[in-house]
Amino acid sequence: MTVDVEDYFQVSAFEPHVDRATWDNFPKRVEDNTLRILDLFARHEVRATFFMLGWVAERHPGLVKKIVESGHELASHGWEHIRVNTQTPEAFRDDIERTRSLLQDLSGEPVIGYRAASYSIGTNEAWAWDQLAAAGYEYSSSIVPIRHDLYGIPGAPRFPFSTAGGALLEIPITTVPLAGRNINCGGGGWFRLFPYAFSRWALARVNRLDGESGIFYFHPWEIDPDQPRQQQLGVKTRFRHYLNLDRTYSRLEKLLTDFSWGRMDEIFLTEGGRT
């Protein structure tokens, strides 16, 4: 179970409409929403991995401490949600080192996991895995093996594989093969789009037929139907962002009941768990 800790105004789809320089002018809702998630996980006795933006951690240091004190893993989501495919290797290395350093200083815990903004490690960004390994990370969860207009490596393995000469484990978001193509069943907008019964069926199929653990992700803003609405969005962006926000929390309740969940590091990096 994973949470990408970013606020509603920081999503990649809003980049043409929201200048990063104005982020501090927006009402911040990420802390309250994340606290609701922590309460939800506590009620269901779930320990998860929180991929956190350095920008958010810097402004909410108490939230960082609350996450680790609650038994969850803290991991890096980069500093300002900048997609890897828009960065040079040098800029990327600075970003991941800066974020990791801050998260470790605030939490007092090692940070070994990373997730790219918008799953933006593509076929042309394999260099990013080498940079992550060199910066001290042990795993990444930054790709989705699907065809998509914004991200995806369709030919990538569906399950964890070694990269960077064996120094880093890449853990893809979970998909299920249907009609000759992979379908995302690992969370985000797909979880809000499909009926809950599909998500339950797909994850159960991965567990049963593939014999693998499923990776699920969502964002704090996805349980917040009252978030401020952005103006001048295109139809596709508006649909993807606001679809079924009022149903996410109740669906998460079902998901946490129907499956057993754990932290990324404990499931994939413990002895015998590494692929």
Which of 71, 55, 64 shows the shortest CA–CA distance to 107?
A: 64
What tokens appear for 33 in the block? Answer: 């929403």
Name 221's Cβ contacts closer than 8 Å, sequence gap at least 6: 6, 7, 8, 11, 29, 30, 33, 227, 245
Q: Please give the pLDDT value at position 273.
A: 45
What angle separates helix 30-43 from helix 245-258, to the nearest 10 degrees?
30
More confident residue, 53 or 189: 53
pLDDT of res. 274: 44
For residue 151, what pLDDT is reported? 66
Does position 271 have pLDDT exceeding 60, yes or no?
no
Cα–chain-centroid distance for residue 32?
18
Q: Which residues pair with 181 in a beta bridge?
A: 178
- 127-145 residue pLDDT tens: 999 999 999 999 999 999 9
The CATH number given to 2-268 is 3.20.20.370
Output the CA angle 103-108-110, nearest 5 degrees. Answer: 70
pLDDT score at 272: 44
Q: What is the mean pLDDT of residues 64-83?
A: 98
Sign of the dihedral defined by the CA atoms of residues 234, 236, 237, 240, in that order = positive
Tell me: pLDDT of 219 over 90: yes
Q: Which sequence spans correspond to the domains of the chain?
A: 2-268
Q: How many whole angstroms separate alpha carbon 113 and alpha carbon 75?
A: 5
Confidence band for 180, pLDDT divided at 50, 70 and 90 = confident
User: In angstroms, how far is CA 7 from the centroid of its own chain?
Assistant: 13
Q: What are the residue ranges of helices labelled H in the chain? A: 30-43, 54-59, 61-69, 89-107, 127-134, 189-193, 196-205, 235-242, 245-258, 264-268
Per-residue pLDDT for 150 more than 70?
no
pLDDT in tens, 194-206: 999 999 999 999 9
Specify the pLDDT at position 154.
Answer: 84
Q: Note whether 75 and 83 are within 8 A (CB).
A: no
Among residues 12, 11, 104, the alpha carbon closest in space to that of 54 is found at: 104
pLDDT in tens, 98-114: 999 999 999 999 999 99
Average pLDDT for 179-199: 93
CA 7 – CA 20 distance, rounded (Å): 12
Q: What is the pTM of this model?
A: 0.95
Q: What is the mean pLDDT of the chain?
A: 94
In the predicted structure, residue 275 carries a pLDDT above the cut 50 = no
> Which residues touch 132 (CB under 8 Å, ≥6 apart)?
96, 114, 140, 164, 168
Checking if the pLDDT of 119 tops 90, the result is yes
Q: Are 223 and 36 in contact (CB under 8 A)?
A: yes
Q: Is the pLDDT of residue 148 over 70?
A: no
